Amino acid sequence: MHSKDQICHEDYQRTADWLLSQTQHRPKVAIICGSGLGMLADALKCQDSFKYSDIPGFPQSTVKGHAGRLVFGELKGKTCVCMQGRFHMYEGHSLSKVTFPVRVFKLLGVDTLIVTNAAGSLADSYSCGDIMIIRDHINFPGLAGLNPLNGPNDDKFGTRFPPMSGVYDKSLRKMAFDICKSMGVSQYVQEGVYCMVGGPNFETVAEARLLHRLGVDAVGMSTAPEVLVASHCGMRVFGLSLITNKVVKSYEDNETVNHEAVLEVSKMRSETLQVLVTELISQMDINNNTA
């Protein structure tokens, strides 16, 4: 490691090699579970799991609802690795730490990243409990220069100036919609724009109104950095936001949001999300799910 924040290729490789020595699983798909969504890992069969604190080089999760375990296993015969708990910028992690696991996954052979998060809705047509398929994102910290790709570019992972239009894979989005239809849950499935803000505070009314005017459908405190790093190294990306609350946009509204409420709503949709993600992975075209 060069400095506190700079991570070099060998650091990622060391962690990947350690994991490869500890499990027979060779995942092609990685899933990052958002707040309260760690149960997505429960569906994995033949699990090998590792506490983040036992994995060399891994950061630690500090947020309630993020268990801090990396779980390998099979979903309908396809090998996956699942992060039960992610890292956020507001926890004090550098963005290279926040995205560290994504590059490790690349070195494990992962080619598809599924990200999930809990988010507040700005779109008037959304309700609490809706599932939003992420069409695109706005990365506020990124626009302000806080980007995990800052610093010397590691050409072994990807190009200096990666394109980001079309970053959320269109065919996977369509596949997810079709699956939702067949599950009979289309009435609470949306597609929209996710916006990352730094957090950890929830939005003021003025901020909420700003985001609404910008065309943001759902706001949260994660996801964009992981997606940037995954796309930079050539992974296919699919994302889901679970709408856990409506962001307060009126001074007349006395509602307030809190993390406990976010976790409560996550629980309510856990089964639907599990079925949706499992079905998506089972229908995905994966080159080779054994190595």
Distance CA 194, CA 265 (A): 18
CA distances in angstroms from 40 to 10, 129, 195, listed in the order given: 30, 16, 23
Q: Is 88 a catalytic residue?
A: yes
Please state the φ and ψ torsions of residue 142, each to the nearest 5 degrees: -65, -45
CB-based burial label for 207 (10 Å; 0-12, 13-18, 19+)? middle
Binding-site size for ligand LQZ7MJT6 (CB under 6 A) equals 13
CB 15, min distance to ligand GUN, A: 28
Which chain residues interact with ligand GUN by CB under 6 A?
118-120, 197, 199, 202-203, 219-221, 244-245, 247, 257, 262
Give me the catalytic one of 221, 224, 230, 235: 221
Instruction: Select from 185, 179, 191, 189 the least CA-distant residue to 282.
Output: 179
Instruction: List the single partner that 176 binds among ligand LQZ7MJT6, ligand GUN, none, CB under 5 to 8 Å by kind.
Output: none
Q: Which of 88, 97, 137, 269 binds ligand LQZ7MJT6 (CB under 6 A)?
A: 88
Give me the catalytic one of 12, 30, 35, 41: 35
Question: Residue 118 interacts with ligand LQZ7MJT6 (CB under 6 A)?
Answer: yes
Binding mask of the shown chain, residues 54 to 73, with x at each position contacting ligand LQZ7MJT6 by CB under 6 A: ---------x----------
Annotated ligand binding at 86? The verdict is yes
β-pair type (236-246, 131-139): antiparallel
Region of 184 (left: φ > 0; alpha: ψ -120 to 50; beta: rest) is left
| H-type alpha helices, 95-247 | 95-98, 100-108, 140-143, 170-183, 205-213, 224-232
Q: Is 91 a catalytic residue?
A: yes
Q: Which residues bind ligand LQZ7MJT6 (CB under 6 A)?
A: 34-35, 63, 86, 88, 117-118, 199, 220-222, 259, 262
User: Which residues are annotated as part of the binding site for a purine D-ribonucleoside?
Assistant: 203, 245
